[in-house]
Amino acid sequence: MKINLLPWRQDRLAANRKMFSVITLTTVAVACGTLYFVYSLFFTESSYLKSYAKALAQAKETTFLKVKLYMSSEGKQKELLERSQELRTLLLNRYDTVRLLNEITVLTPKGIYLTNLSRKDDSVEINGDASSNLQISQFMYSIEASKTLKVISLQKVEKTEGNELVTTQFDLKLSFSPSAVIKTAPVLPTAEKIKINNPIKAIQQHDREKDANTQKILKGE
């Protein structure tokens, strides 16, 4: 009796080939998984460190720019403060000049004619003509009585003749103190205040107006 084993062998070979293919595919899959795990373990950490270093560099650059902007803005703010202080000083100096002119106008007596007035900081120089030395003395006395002006020196006194007139030229050097309190002139009372402060005159005026109204009424009748 003969038994044909060829179909069984073919089935066995097919099963072995199938098993080999499965084992091969499984091995390849495991190898790929292992490689991916190793890559993730080493190269992902390296990329993270690179991104972290890049983020630190960007943060450093941003901080540097902010500090630079702050320093520039602080410098601009300081410059603006200096300019505002200069403008304020100019405004105060302008008012001081007006105050000086007003003070000189009040203190200058009759008979003295100023030809030049110059100011540098707190120093004032005055040039003028006077009819006599007495008027110059009165002018200097008035300046000494002021709270904002003081006489430093009388630098020149010279008599000149011209057009049948004798005048005395003088040069004065003064010191000006803008911070001093300027004495203001007293306010003159008005006519209404004078009328109220004199009741007798007010009563007399009222009686005259009353008599005038009575006369008008009588003439009308």
Full 3-state SS string of the chain: CCCCCHHHHHHHHHHHHHHHHHHHHHHHHHHHHHHHHHHHHHHHHHHHHHHHHHHHHHHHHHHHHHHHHHHHHHHHHHHHHHHHHHHHHHHHHHHHHHHHHHHHHHHCCCCEEEEEEEEECCEEEEEEEECCHHHHHHHHHHHHHCCCEEEEEEEEEEEEEECCEEEEEEEEEEEECCCCCCCCCCCCCCHHHHHHHCHHHHHHHHHHHHHHHHHHHHHHC
* Average confidence (pLDDT) over 159-167: 77
* Per-residue confidence (pLDDT) for residue 214, from 0 to 100: 63
* Per-residue confidence (pLDDT) for residue 92, from 0 to 100: 67
Whether pLDDT at 210 is above 70:
no
Task: Give the number of other CB atoms < 10 A from CB of residue 131.
Answer: 15
Could you report how far apart the first and last alpha carbons of the chain are, in Å?
Answer: 185
Give the pLDDT band of residue 94 (cuts 50, 70, 90): low
Q: Which of 134-143, 174-183, 196-205 has the lowest mean pLDDT?
A: 196-205
Whether pLDDT at 191 is above 50:
no
Of 173, 162, 166, 174, the C-alpha closest to 130 is 166
- What is the C-alpha radius of gyration for the chain, rounded to an integer number of angstroms? 55
Contact between 67 and 59 under an 8 Å Cβ cutoff? The reply is no
* Per-residue confidence (pLDDT) for residue 179, from 0 to 100: 64
* Per-residue confidence (pLDDT) for residue 41, from 0 to 100: 65
Predicted TM-score of the model (pTM): 0.42
Of 106, 115, 176, the C-alpha closest to 147 is 176
Unique residue bearing structure tokens 């005259």: 208
25 vs 27: CA distance, rounded Å: 5
* Average confidence (pLDDT) over 87-114: 81
Whether pLDDT at 52 is above 80:
no
* Average confidence (pLDDT) over 91-119: 83
- Mean pLDDT for the chain overall: 75
Q: Which of 64-68, 106-110, 113-117, 184-188 has the lowest mean pLDDT?
A: 184-188
